[in-house]
A and B are shown apart, each in its own frame.
Chain A
């Protein structure tokens, strides 16, 4: 069992913003060794785990202009460390919204306090924001707190090691409500001929919980395995989850045995479920690009976009990124729908359509001038994929549905669950070539 020997938060230039050392044997300036090591690679070839000549391993992630780096001198559990680093960033985001050099510098005292609580001797302890915020407060948090009666630290402490560590007792709401947001992201890779190479749905259920007391919740989904466990006939649209993961409040053994999702929720916002479905879906959008080289200095694109979902749904904020030669210039666009922008930094043009109804198709025509001196990477664009971003409200690709949400509390109040569905793009790409 090996943990983190030291942790650093470094700025872009490798200067130390925050550091805690947990072992004596590390050189004081080990981050400089790391910085040098980092320079051996460019950003493209850097691996996130590196070992130096002395056998120290550096495990690091980047976030905005920061590097979160840990040093290990032993055979540490590195996935645990990565998970911790990402969780650390998450917690800092909850505290400062933007986690960047500025906010870390301004709040370094809070960051130290957090680290002290989150890592003991290099071993992760508590990383739940909802608990941490109870006893580590920034100035803005403190201001709010003064309005409420002072809480004794005792309760807080109980929280950290309690069985239900994610919720404190005595929460009160006038109106008891729960909001569920079902968000599905569609990852899709489509070949030149419109054939689906891979498709995958990453879904999550985000909960905003405004309930009093210590309620017990039971959530029913149209889960195929659940119907089967119950011995019922699977109904027309039941979803077969490939993988489903829960917030730590859900009783895993109960789910494993009975496929029942039962939990006492934390207060406020949290992600209850994340799931993955590996089902074959028809492409929601297909895009055809016809490229014509009119002359050596002129290239014309004819882009045809088609939506394949039901006519009653509408996609919002559709943006289609079509790669163009990196030295293209003087764009001329013609389309009846939406607007087109040239984005030279992305080597692409972006066609945005505010509302894209189901079963519709739109055309766009673009002409670029090409300089006579040919850029060495001019043909690279044909190997880059077309990217699409979109949002379709009131719709889940998988057919995921919340059947019920039962809320029970000792005090016996009535509570209202609200459910919203939305489908978004994940990595939605179409190969050009």
Chain B
């Protein structure tokens, strides 16, 4: 969108005319009598359509061909119409007659079905009523293929005009289809009724013993997808008694042998639900065991990982409800070396659930194996799983602790840290039982980078101050950096030292005194300060009471934190195979109502229009008066003048609103339509809430200054980098220094990738740097960034900061501290030297010669492999304040162009340029050799990016 317009008007004209020719050719081809030429033409059109080009202006010509007797051509025409009908409802009406005719074709049921299917896809209210008659007839069609298509068609039209469908009694007709003699028709009718039921919100599919019989019969005869529709309908039924449930289960259970995984899980869904209605424990057991083998088969090695993933998620639910189903077969949950990580983690989850006193030996052996693998995430989860087993199975706890002990001995950093966290939980569950590993634990104090591991270790020391002889020295060491530790570690230090003092007053006296002092006076964290105050007061009033409080009994922990509560579990069991089961969430909690989504989308959609590279431009009415139109269907390079573009945007907005219109959401419709055509982009943008607004107005209001080369954003802070206090990660920052006129600005793009945290109160500070850069203000003007959001902001930079004597390095980066409400992040922002070129200071020819002869300059020859003509190069460089000083010829007659720039600190940079047909040769002269690569890079940026 921001491409310069001046230079492209000629190419756009030529592409326009070329484009016009293409359209003309297509039109001619479509109007010919030969089927082949028509077919080829429409193929080209659909190809363009798929690639996002707009070919809607051909609608009248294409629609003319609807009545062809050639089926292939007809299908293509239909495809085209489906795509454009919603943007052009008026024209779609043209197609109605043809649909009506085809739907009543006497000879060919295939044609009838095609017409019915297609017209349902045209979601235009205007034409629905014309389609009702043929649809009604098709429901009674003699051919089952037509009837099954008609069933789905009713659900499609219900989406478009529900009132009309109800008025005309079509839902009644749809219900009647349940009595159809053909299984596929019944299955599709079931499916359609369920769709309508969802959008209507009232029961459409009456489930009673009679309809259940119908569905069961159909299920036996229809294809796999039909079986799924039938099963999913049956799963909603509430059987009257155990007997009925058992009878249905008997009919459903053979489906477990189907080779379509979807059918298997849908059958499991009914089995799981209906088992609750059975009384006889033996029948329950037998039925439950029928699921075992089919479920395990979903995980066998040949199966696609995607299928395995969904299966594992569901098995996890199923075994919590009925553990008997998978008791013995733990081996299938052993990880394969080549399993994707998401499968491995899920398998560990299931293994932890399956672990019992009989199989723990086997599981532990396998888990130990995993702790030696390479993938960090997997290894940590394996260690954690060992810990879960220990807490779950008291009898096996010792074996688990031994396994963890072995993990400690590996000395692999992340294994050790994870083990310590896990051992902390074990100590909580089984106090004073496994003291023998304390010694080995205490050997690993150095490598604790992870705050959770560190806090865990300190907790353990505090807990065993009486056993660990040198606890006082250890704690003293930890306390040394007390002020710099993250909050959770600070808390643990405080508690542990308190315990030390209470148990061994002599050893802890000094330590607790200093610590309480620091915590109350120097710490800003209110929780910590308060806790320190409370301790202090307790100690000064009643030390015995303090002892009681600090060593109070804690609630025991169990493995139940990983189990799902029963109510949710039952809900999820009803959703086996559905997305709900994958997210382990109730459907309501992740499915938004259509309207909500739409409302929030309206704003976004307009953004999209601006963002899109390939606009769907040109509409039929424009086409007629512009003869060729400005859109270029077959040209990938998108060059149109900005004026036309703004017009297009206008149309886009209209299209968007029109689409919205179709859905009858007038109340939420934005006001864009009223904006007069002449108005430019800026006021429109300002009407758009959210993102666009955040960009400071300078960018848009000073278009003349955007001529400076725009340095692309670089990711400077990745999501995985934690803040300085390691409290939080999930913030991603992209940044770029830009030159904007004579100002230097820093563009920041802040993205919040956390789930639940909000970042705000941003501030930035630079480390000392050679060019004395510093931000005008430490605070950054920026709205809070909510989870999933991105904000773009801009700060001005001046050159009055403190100086660093270190010469700049390649690539030149500035270290910054980035403050947020949650943590401080440190990172580097790379910078192009071009940003530092002074816009005012120029060098005279005289001065240039003087400088170039100076002895203390570093000189270097470089070659840039780009083709650019001297005039264009001069424009580009001068726009970025790299000025042409003079042109001269050297002794061999080669033309030498002299350029020079001054840096903000007054240093002069010189370049002699020789153009060759394939590249440009540069002779660079700079006052300091470290600037050489930077200058080369900057010139590269200017010439290639601009």
- What 0/1 pattern do residues 145 to 161 of A give for CB contact below 8 A with B? 00000000110111011
Return B249 CB to nearest CB of chain A, in Å.
12
A385 to B561, CA, bound (A): 35
**Is A121 a contact of B266 with CB atoms below 8 Å?**
no
A322-366 Cβ-contact flags toward B at 8 Å (1 or 0): 000000000000000000000000000000000000000000000
Task: Render A175-191 as a binary contact track against B, CB cut-off 8 A, 1 for contact.
Answer: 00000000001010100
A81: nearest residue on chain B (CB-CB)? B262
- A193 → chain B closest CB, angstroms: 12
Q: For residues 225 through 278 of chain A, which have their beta carbon under 8 Å from a beta carbon of chain B?
A: 242-248, 252-253, 255-256, 271, 274, 276, 278
Whether the Cβ atoms of A78 and B597 lie closer than 8 Å is: no
Chain A nearest CB: distance from B658 CB in Å? 12
Asked if A108 and B47 sit within 8 Å, CB to CB, the answer is yes
Contact A245 B184 (CB under 8 A): no
Query: Which of B5-13, B191-199, B550-558 touches A?
Result: B191-199
Residue of A nearest to B604 (CB): A27
Our pick among B305, B338, B369 for the contact of A431 (Cβ within 8 Å) is B369
Among B46, B223, B787, residue most surrounded by chain A Cβ atoms (within 10 Å): B223
Whether B51 is near chain A, meaning CB under 8 Å from some CB there, is yes
What chain B residues lie within 8 Å of A16 (beta carbons)? 50-52
**Residue among B46, B306, B310, B662 having the largest count of chain A Cβ atoms under 10 Å:** B306
> Which residues of A are found within 8 Å of B804, using beta-carbon distances?
none
> Nearest chain A CB to B899's CB is how many angstroms away?
38
> CB-defined interface of B570-595 with A at 8 Å, one 1/0 digit per residue?
00000101111011000100111010
Which A residues touch B439, using CB under 8 A? none
Known interface pairs A40-B753, A157-B113. Does A73 touch B591 (Cβ–Cβ under 8 Å)? yes
Within the complex, the shortest CB–CB distance from B620 to chain A, in Å, comes to: 19
Chain B contacts for A162, CB-based, 8 A: 144
**Does A57 sit within 8 A of B, measured CB to CB?**
yes
Query: Could you say which of B206-214, B224-232, B704-712, B854-862 contacts chain A?
Result: B224-232
Contact in complex: B76, A19 (CB < 8 Å)? no
Contact of A124 among B145, B225, B341, B579 (CB under 8 A): B225
Within 8 Å by CB of B302, from A22, A112, A185, A256, lies A185
**Interfacial chain B residues near A47, Cβ < 8 Å:** 309, 342
A127 CB to nearest chain B CB (Å) = 7
Q: Are A197 and B296 in contact (CB under 8 A)?
A: no
Q: Does A24 contact B (CB under 8 A)?
A: yes
Interface-located stretch among A48-56, A291-299, A414-422:
A48-56
A16 to B49, CA, bound (A): 11
Near A by CB (< 8 A), chain B positions 95-142 give 108-111, 113, 117, 120-121, 123
User: A304 within 8 Å of B by Cβ?
Assistant: no
B43-71 contact mask (Cβ, 8 Å, vs A): 1 or 0: 10011001110000000000000000000
Name the interface residues of B843-858: CB closer than 8 Å to any CB of A: none
A residues in contact with B79, CB < 8 Å: 112, 116
Judging by beta carbons under 8 Å apart, are B601 and A80 in contact? no
Q: Is B372 an interface residue (CB 8 A)?
A: yes
A96 beta carbon closer than 8 Å to chain B:
no
Q: Which residues in B have their C-beta under 8 angstroms from that of A57?
A: 579, 590
A61 at the interface (CB under 8 A from B): yes
How does the 8 Å CB contact mask read for A1-43 relative to B, with 1 for contact and 0 for none? Answer: 1110000000000011111001111011100000000001000
- CB of B598 closer than 8 Å to a CB of A: yes
Query: B819 at interface (Cβ–Cβ under 8 A)?
Result: no
| Given A112-B46, A123-B191, A189-B334, also A157-B110 (CB < 8 A) | yes
Name which residue of chain A comes closest to B114, CB basis.
A116
Chain A: interface size category: 35 or more
- What mask results when residues 382 to 402 of chain A are scored 1 for a CB within 8 Å of chain B, else 0? 011100000000000000000
Task: Tell me how far the C-beta of A8 lies from the nearest C-beta in chain B, rounded to whole angstroms.
Answer: 10
Residue of A nearest to B47 (CB): A108
Q: Is A301 engaged at the interface, CB distance under 8 Å to the other chain?
A: no
Point out the residues of chain A lying under 8 angstroms from B309, CB to CB: 47-49
Asked if A74 is at the interface of the complex by the 8 Å CB criterion, the answer is: yes
Determine whether the beta carbon of B293 is less than 8 Å from that of A153.
no
Instruction: Give the docked Cα–Cα distance between A385 and B370 (Å).
Output: 13
The total number of A-B Cβ pairs within 8 Å is 273
Interface centre among B224, B232, B605, B659 (most CB of A within 10 A): B224
Shortest Cβ distance from residue B88 to the other chain A in the assembled complex, whole angstroms: 15
Does A83 lie within 8 Å of B50, measured CB to CB? no
User: CB-CB < 8 A to A302: which residues of B?
Assistant: none
| Interface 1/0 per residue, B773-808 and A, CB below 8 Å | 000000000000001100000000000000000000
Task: Kindly supply a per-residue 1/0 record for chain B positions 356-378, scoring 1 wherever the CB is within 8 Å of any chain A CB and 0 otherwise.
Answer: 00000000001001001110000
Within residues 58 to 75 of chain A, which ones have a CB less than 8 A from any CB in chain B?
Answer: 61, 72-75
- What's the minimum C-beta distance from A56 to chain B, rounded to whole angstroms? 8
**Binary B-proximity of A73-87 (CB < 8 A = 1, otherwise 0):** 111111111111010
Interface residues of B in 66-85 (CB under 8 A from A): 72, 75-76, 79
Tell me how far the C-beta of B211 lies from the nearest C-beta in chain A, rounded to whole angstroms: 15
B258 touches A245 (CB 8 A): yes
B340 at the interface (CB under 8 A from A): yes
Question: A197 vs B35: C-alpha distance in the bound complex, in angstroms?
Answer: 64
Contacts A1-B229, A243-B294 hold; do A49 and B50 have CB atoms under 8 A apart?
no
| Interface size counted on chain B using CB atoms at 8 A | 115
A426 at the interface (CB under 8 A from B): yes
Whether the pair B301, A202 counts as a contact (CB closer than 8 A) is yes
**How near does chain B come to A235, taking the closest CB pair, in angstroms?**
23
Chain-A contact segment, one of B148-156, B425-433, B734-742, B908-916: B148-156
Tell me the bound Cα distance from A71 to B729 in angstroms: 29
Interface flag for A102 (CB, 8 Å): no
Interface presence of A101 (CB below 8 A): no
The answer to whether B262 and A83 have CB atoms under 8 Å apart is yes
- In the bound complex, residues from chain A placing their C-beta under 8 Å from that of B366 are 197
A125-B222 Cα distance, complex, nearest whole Å = 10
Please state if B225 and A123 are interface contacts (CB–CB under 8 Å): yes
The answer to whether the Cβ of A165 comes within 8 Å of any Cβ in the partner chain is yes
Q: Bits for B201-244, please: 1 = Cβ < 8 Å to A, else 0.
A: 00000000000000000001101110011001100000000000
Q: Chain A 86-100, CB within 8 Å of chain B: the 1/0 string? A: 100000000000000
Bound-state CA distance A83–B308 (Å) is 11
State whether B108 touches A153 (Cβ < 8 A): yes
Contact B788 A53 (CB under 8 A): yes
Q: Is the CB of B306 within 8 A of A25?
A: no
- Measured in the bound complex, the distance between the Cα atoms of B73 and A113 in whole Å is 11
CB < 8 Å: which of B46, B159, B310 contacts A49?
B310
State in angstroms the CA–CA spacing of A247 and B260 once bound together.
Answer: 9
B873 at the interface (CB under 8 A from A): no
Q: Which residue of B lies closest to A112 (CB)?
A: B79
Task: Identify the interface centre among A27, A73, A271, A276: most chain B CB within 10 Å of its CB.
Answer: A276
Q: Considering the complex of A and B, which 10 residue pairs feature the smallest CB-CB distances, nearest first?
A: A1-B194, A243-B293, A80-B262, A75-B587, A245-B259, A161-B144, A124-B225, A83-B262, A53-B788, A198-B331
B residues neighboring A (CB under 8 Å): 43, 46-47, 50-52, 72, 75-76, 79, 86, 108-111, 113, 117, 120-121, 123, 143-145, 148-149, 152, 155-156, 159, 182-185, 188, 191, 194-195, 197-198, 220-221, 223-225, 228-229, 232-233, 253-255, 257-262, 265-266, 293-294, 296-297, 300-302, 304-307, 309-311, 329, 331-332, 334, 336-338, 340-342, 366, 369, 372-374, 575, 577-580, 582-583, 587, 590-592, 594, 597-598, 600-601, 604-605, 608, 612, 659, 662-663, 719, 753, 787-788
Binding site for B on A (CB under 8 A): 1-3, 15-19, 22-25, 27-29, 40, 44-49, 51, 53-55, 57, 61, 72-84, 86, 108-109, 112-113, 116, 120-121, 123-128, 135, 153-154, 156-158, 160-163, 165, 185, 187, 189, 197-198, 200, 202, 242-248, 252-253, 255-256, 271, 274, 276, 278, 377, 380, 383-385, 426-427, 429, 431, 433
Beyond the given pairs A29-B608, A49-B310, 17 more chain A to chain B contacts, judged by CB atoms under 8 angstroms and listed by A's residue number, are A47-B309, A61-B304, A75-B580, A76-B578, A79-B265, A109-B46, A116-B117, A125-B148, A127-B225, A156-B110, A160-B145, A187-B300, A242-B293, A242-B296, A245-B258, A384-B337, A429-B337
